[in-house]
Chains A and B, each alone.
Chain A
Amino acid sequence: MVREFTIGPATREAYGAALVELGRKNPNVVVLDADLSKSTYTGKFGKEFPDRFFNIGIAEANMVGIAGGLAHSGKIPFCSSFACFLVDKGYDQLRIAVAYPQENVKVVSSHGGISIGEDGPSQQSIEDVALMVTLPGFVVCVPSDAAQARDLVLRAADHKGPVYIRTGRPKVATIYTGGEFPFGKSRQLEDGKDVTIVANGLMVAEALKAHDALKDDGITARVIDSYCVKPLDEEAIISAARDTGALVVAEEHSKIGGLGAMVAQCLAAHFPAPVEQVAVNDTYAESGSPAQLLEKYGLTWKHVVAAARKVLGRKVRPLGNEPPPAGKASESEHHPFEV
């Protein structure tokens, strides 16, 4: 039996509320939006602090540049729009006005992933994490629920340097009641010995459900919420590979360039282990309800379970534990592991 979650606020709502908290505490916090303040929830801050709220208009590139200038002058700008418009339209400015001079800009998107539903691919973002992790010096986070989103937003204000946080449109499962989520770390939510599921965003709840389904079949899974994609919690990833020998990475993003790629890169460098990805398979999605799209594009706990089974079949076994497949023994002589 897979667990059920209570559905809590969307991570974008948590962002809006956290901004108001920050605004009350810190007069240097300023907020910018590009005509989407109702959707990103920055409008709440704008209502309470109209002098510190800048609705730039439908001009995301200009907004990011302005945020760079505000940060340069000692303000702590949070700037927001849908992930696709904020990151893609503002990319040169994110690079030149923020990342390159390491300005203290907080870039918080809403509508990450395909779970925005009916508006379709032009408003869905499956590339933003990949684009943001390539910018030197950026911290990149994908919160899984409201409590975590709140903590990450407050933390971003205290952090010196550029931060990207991706929030989502739909109301999501409540995973946490509170807690600390430092940058560069992850959170282990379940332990197991057969396989590790690394997830972030709304795939964390799916990973936990997959854990339960696998358990019913006698497979135990470690589940890691990798809310911080960069810097990646490499220690946790390497330990998972060492302890469980196989990983599934689940994210609401293109399978290229996101958390899955970061995990694979880490393992390739430090501790090779098979990885299966649960992610959008290098395609644009379409219009439909969020649930329909997550199903069609392979982002449910059932897909996580299937990936776990697949990766178990690819598992690398210590020499001597299992008879090696015929004809392969000599090839792997100089390697401590073999497929």
Chain B
Amino acid sequence: MPLTYDELKAKAVRVRRDSLEMITAAASGHPGGSLSEVEILVALWFRVMRHDPKNPQWAARDRFILSKGHGCPALYSCMAHTGYFDPSTLNTLRKLGSPLQGHPDRRFIPALEASTGSLGNGLSIGIGIAHALKLDKTDARVYVVVGDGECQEGQIWEAAMYAGAHGLDNITLIVDYNKKQLDDMVKHVLPMDPLGGKFAAMNWDVMEIDGHNMQLVVEALEESKKVKGRPTCIVAHTITGKGVSFMENDPKWHGVAPTKEECAKALAELGV
């Protein structure tokens, strides 16, 4: 039985809580971009993707790449609560010897499809996997999550042009369009609008959604499975630091860990 939207929303609260607690315990990390991507990751890991934590190398599994690797706390939380490892591991984030590295690292978690952290790499790797899946005649899909700032990397557009031209319809790219990057708001550094239009011009099927509306996120992801002959790009409009009033829309929280007090305040706002 797939999880209901209410159940998925409860998972999202859990993942936000974990992310904040992990980053606070590590005293470093990226809260803003971890909180903006939560609904996307929860929808994928708890409902949309075909995967089996007991068999992480299952040939028919859907593949997931968090190209914006700095958002890994939310990914680790999703993987823990879907059974890839014990949730008690989460508080070891970024500590020496922990499998939960500061950015996703396949050497320590083989279930990851890519080691990321250098922005711009994920979609190209996803294209390679998508080609291989087609060669192997499986209907498994590739899901790649990128940041909006990350889309300033030229490699993203080389990849986008390629996937569109080759009609790789087993790829769904989700842009966590939170309008913020490291130094500032995206519009002050290098505006990306019209972001969806750029992908559409490169032969992608483009959907624009509210990336915090769980039902819309699930529906868009399901819809992307049905698109034939073109890859899908879901432009998910999100809010950096979503769920914590003092973090929302403030680029200051890109890469700064909350103090214990700030974390407690944030958790209270989440109602946990």
Surface stretch bound by A, among B55-63, B90-98, B123-131, B217-225: B90-98
Assembled-state Cα–Cα distance A118/B143 (Å): 27
Closest Cβ neighbor of A288 among chain B residues:
B96
Give the Cβ gap from B244 to chain A, nearest Cβ, in Å. Answer: 21
- Tell me which residues from 117 to 136 in chain B have a Cβ below 8 Å from any Cβ of chain A: 117-120
Assembled-state Cα–Cα distance A78/B33 (Å): 29
A335 within 8 A of B: no
A28 within 8 A of B: no
Q: Is the CB of B181 within 8 A of A35?
A: yes
Assembled-state Cα–Cα distance A55/B182 (Å): 11
Q: Is the CB of B94 within 8 A of A36?
A: no
Assembled-state Cα–Cα distance A121/B106 (Å): 12
Q: Is the CB of A85 within 8 A of B96?
A: no
Q: Is the CB of B115 within 8 A of A55?
A: no
Assembled-state Cα–Cα distance A36/B96 (Å): 25
Contacts A57-B189, A119-B102 known; A37 to B183 CB distance under 8 Å?
yes
- Cβ contacts under 8 Å, B213 to chain A: none
The listed residue (A43, A56, A119) touching B103 by CB distance below 8 A is A119
- Tell me which residues from 133 to 156 in chain B have a Cβ below 8 Å from any Cβ of chain A: 149-150, 152-154
Contacts A288-B95, A296-B96 known; A123 to B149 CB distance under 8 Å?
no
A289 within 8 A of B: yes
Q: Is the CB of B96 within 8 A of A287?
A: yes
B101 within 8 A of A: yes
The listed residue (A55, A59, A119, A284) touching B154 by CB distance below 8 A is A59
- Cβ contacts under 8 Å, B97 to chain A: 286, 288
B69 within 8 A of A: yes
Q: Is the CB of B189 within 8 A of A286?
A: no
- Tell me which residues from 293 to 331 in chain A have a Cβ below 8 Å from any Cβ of chain B: 293, 296
Q: Is the CB of B181 within 8 A of A58?
A: yes
Number of A-B contacts (CB under 8 A): 97
A62 within 8 A of B: yes
B82 within 8 A of A: no
- Cβ contacts under 8 Å, B95 to chain A: 287-288
Q: Is the CB of A118 within 8 A of B119?
A: no
What is the total number of residues of chain B having a CB less than 8 Å from a CB of chain A?
32
Give the Cβ gap from B147 to chain A, nearest Cβ, in Å. Answer: 8
Q: Is the CB of A120 within 8 A of B189?
A: no
Give the Cβ gap from B158 to chain A, nearest Cβ, in Å. Answer: 11
- Cβ contacts under 8 Å, B150 to chain A: 58
- Tell me which residues from 174 to 223 in chain B have a Cβ below 8 Å from any Cβ of chain A: 181-184, 189-190
Interface residues on A, range: 20 to 34
Q: Is the CB of A38 within 8 A of B96?
A: no
Q: Is the CB of B96 within 8 A of A35?
A: no
B26 within 8 A of A: yes
- Cβ contacts under 8 Å, B149 to chain A: 35, 57-58
- Cβ contacts under 8 Å, B120 to chain A: 58, 89
Closest Cβ neighbor of A39 among chain B residues:
B182
B contacts with A: majority SS: loop
Give the Cβ gap from B155 to chain A, nearest Cβ, in Å. Answer: 8
- Cβ contacts under 8 Å, B152 to chain A: 35, 57-59
Give the Cβ gap from A269 to chain B, nearest Cβ, in Å. Answer: 36
Assembled-state Cα–Cα distance A55/B187 (Å): 12
- Cβ contacts under 8 Å, B108 to chain A: 286
Residue among A85, A117, A284, A288 having the largest count of chain B Cβ atoms under 10 Å: A288
- Cβ contacts under 8 Å, B103 to chain A: 119-123
Assembled-state Cα–Cα distance A43/B153 (Å): 21
Contacts A56-B190, A57-B189 known; A118 to B69 CB distance under 8 Å?
no
A292 within 8 A of B: yes
Assembled-state Cα–Cα distance A296/B97 (Å): 11
Closest Cβ neighbor of B151 among chain A residues:
A58
Closest Cβ neighbor of B94 among chain A residues:
A118
Closest Cβ neighbor of B252 among chain A residues:
A38
- Tell me which residues from 78 to 122 in chain A have a Cβ below 8 Å from any Cβ of chain B: 84-85, 88-89, 117-122
Q: Is the CB of B102 within 8 A of A43?
A: no
Contacts A286-B96, A292-B96 known; A120 to B190 CB distance under 8 Å?
no
A141 within 8 A of B: no
- Cβ contacts under 8 Å, A84 to chain B: 118
B105 within 8 A of A: yes
B116 within 8 A of A: yes
Assembled-state Cα–Cα distance A35/B26 (Å): 24
B-facing mask of A134-165, CB < 8 A → 1, else 0?
00000000000000000000000000000000
Question: What are 25 A-B interface contacts by the 8 Å CB criterion?
Answer: A33-B183, A35-B152, A35-B181, A35-B182, A35-B189, A43-B183, A55-B184, A57-B152, A58-B153, A59-B190, A62-B154, A84-B118, A85-B118, A88-B118, A89-B120, A119-B28, A120-B94, A120-B105, A120-B117, A121-B117, A122-B115, A123-B118, A284-B107, A286-B101, A288-B97
Other CB < 8 Å A-B pairs besides A55-B183, A56-B190, 5 of them? A35-B189, A58-B149, A62-B154, A118-B26, A122-B117
